[in-house]
């Protein structure tokens, strides 16, 4: 009887732990969760929009909005330590682009965004 009782407890514990996925609970704070590749593509899209806005001569607030969205989207890239280190380096170029745009140097900002785009594209090879 004691063995049967232990088996029932172990079975019910295993069943209750296996009923929900831990990845489904990972973003319970209301954020939308993306896979690493989707996150990279999202960042690349925002960088491309920022470069396009600079080419069209948009005001700096529109460009800074896309830069901010790219920086926030880069936080969704969670793969491994190597990818994270390279993501942080690429984020450095986004920060430099933001500073250049704020200072009124659109060409330098566009150069930094181009470098950030190249580096984020390189993250796909590390996945």
Q: What is the pLDDT of residues 4-26, one digit of tens each?
A: 788 787 777 777 766 655 555 55
CA angle 40, 46, 51 (to 5 degrees): 125
d(CA 96, CA 94): 5
Q: What is the pTM of this model?
A: 0.74
Q: What is the per-residue pLDDT for 9?
A: 77
Written as six digits, the tokens of 8 are 């029932």
pLDDT, mean over the chain: 86
Written as six digits, the tokens of 2 are 């004691």
* CATH class of this structure's domain 34-126: mainly alpha
- Share of residues in the chain with pLDDT > 70 (%): 87
């Amino acid at each position: 009887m004691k063995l049967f009782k232990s088996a029932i407890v172990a079975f019910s514990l295993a069943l209750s732990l296996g009923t929900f996925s831990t990845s489904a609970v990972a973003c319970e704070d209301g954020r939308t969760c993306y896979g690493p590749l989707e996150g990279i593509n999202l960042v690349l899209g925002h960088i491309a929009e920022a470069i396009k806005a600079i080419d069209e001569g948009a005001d700096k607030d529109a460009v800074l909005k896309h830069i901010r969205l790219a920086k926030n989207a880069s936080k969704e890239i969670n793969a491994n330590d190597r990818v994270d280190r390279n993501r942080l380096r690429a984020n450095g170029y986004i920060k430099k682009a933001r500073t250049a745009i704020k200072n009124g140097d659109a060409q330098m900002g566009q150069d930094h965004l181009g470098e950030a785009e190249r580096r984020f594209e390189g993250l796909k090879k590390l996945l």
